[in-house]
Chain A
Amino acid sequence: MEQFPLKYQPAVPVSNGKLAIWLFLSTEIMFFSALIGSYVVYRLGAAPGTWPTPATMQVVEWMGALNTTILLASSAAIVMALEMARHSKARAAKGWLVLTMVLGIAFLVVKGFEYRAKFEHGLFPDVKKQQIFDRSDDYYVSAVAAALTENLGATTLVATSGTESLPASGSKVVLTNQDDPARLFLNGIVEWTRLELSQTTDLSRRKKLLDGLAELIHSNSVDEETQAFWRAELESAKKQVTEFDQQFSQVSEELKGTQAKLSGLDKESPEHKTLTESAKVQTAELTQLTRQRNVLRDRVAAIEKFCLDRKKSLNEQYHWHLPMVIPNGNLWVNTYFMLTGFHALHVLFGIVAMAVLALLSLGPSRAGLIENVALYWHFVDVVWIFLFPLIYLL
């Protein structure tokens, strides 16, 4: 025994701290590959052509490229900090470390701008109120109507017409929605679409109505086919307005005649009774006609205002935040915020670690500590290297 003195022989030729940080990083590899892997598998498993494009989701390529460069520069800076510390240049080491921190903060600032753009456009996971719909259907139209009435205070004609009393015959339009775009849109497009959907069983027409509405709200591009659809809708609405006008004048003439007859009759006579009854019926008919005609006039005005020759989506133009139809949009925002959110948290922790490190004197004795923080920081960089093409470019 005495011939072989016991000597400490490390199992792994690195310091405990470095081994610990590497073991931590190996768990991080699994953590992030689970997140990135599920994003990739979700994306590949989506029906062809339904994964949202970067433009739809307010993803700006150059911002991603800028952030990539920032993180790469910060990685290079922390390598220099370690290099300087090893060569006993404590002040220079601190300078490089502070530069790394500043670059890390710059990364988060750019990220903040990106997140703001998404929140402004309603592109975030929302449990309470669904903002993103996978397809346009009856539920979607109801959600749009609900958003217009609840958030923008728009009222439907159906709701107001209950208390509305029609003045004497031949009156002008009682209700006009044309001052308030939200009200006009609700009555001229949304409620109209709802009514049409409840009446038509023609599947292709249903699809056109639903897709037309969804495109108005969210899409910035206008295609020729939907423009033709809206022009046809406008024509038919105008035609119906003239028909209603004719009916209206006809009924109001009848009512005038009835009233003229009534004025010349004795109030007690049986003929007076029947005429009063028919006057009542005619007035009710006029009320009904006015209501329908107003709806149609709103329809015409709304199509002219919102659907023809538009440059932007309505959400963009009026800042309405109405529910949108983005196939796989919810999946996209969930994976996006999960991935970039966890990455941003890691950046934040890295900055905190560097801030603590910056309080110390960074001589050669601290080189091991700097290296551990640097290893973590490089790993955060590696994660972003994969996130950049996956989210911004592909």
Chain B
Amino acid sequence: MAEKLQIESNQPSHGGRWFIVFAVLCALTAVSFWVANSQLMTENRLLGQVLMLAISCGKALIVVLCFMHLWWERAWKFAVTIPALIIAVILTISLIPDVGYRGIRYSSVRLKFAPVESGESDNAMQTSRAKE
């Protein structure tokens, strides 16, 4: 047990620091809330969206590194987190061909029931729709 405590005691023990981290997180939340209601969202929507997601990534990183103590952990942290993150990204990318492009390349069924007709479909699909 003494050994175990020794292993885990390589983390800082300053109560007050956690509140600074908490204050930073709240401030970042306020910034993204401000961005969402600022002129930026009407002028350059994409920039605003990217900014808000970047703030989220920053907040998540702060929580993981500080609150979850990952900053002070040994190299095993990479073995546990990085493969999971790679698979997470692959999972999302693998959705793009079928799901993400559904507004660009319609199947005849989708074309029929689409909320708003847009995008281009194959010539074959267009003729199949013309037959209907």
Contact = CB atoms under 8 A, between A and B. Distances in A.
B36 interface: yes
Interface string B49-90: 100110110011001100111000110110011011101110
Contact of B29 (A69, A86, A379, A386): A69
Interface in A28-83: 29-30, 33-34, 37-38, 40-42, 44-50, 61, 65, 68-69, 72-73, 75-76, 79-80, 83
B39 interface: no
Given A33-B91, A41-B100, A22 B18 contact: no
Binding site secondary structure of chain A: helix
Contact of A79 (B1, B67, B118): B67
Size bracket of the A interface: 35 or more
A72 B25 contact: yes
A364 B8 CA distance: 12
Interface in B95-132: 95-96, 99-104, 113-119
Contact of A45 (B30, B68, B76, B100): B100
A191 interface: no
Given A26-B83, A75-B63, A14 B26 contact: no
B95 A48 contact: no
Given A79-B67, A378-B64, A30 B102 contact: no
Contacts, number: 162
Interface of A: 12-15, 19, 22-23, 25-27, 29-30, 33-34, 37-38, 40-42, 44-50, 61, 65, 68-69, 72-73, 75-76, 79-80, 83, 86-87, 134-135, 327-328, 364-365, 367-368, 371, 374-375, 378-379, 381-382, 385-386, 388-390, 392-394
Pick the 5 closest A-B CB pairs, nearest first.
Answer: A37-B92, A33-B88, A327-B115, A26-B84, A393-B36
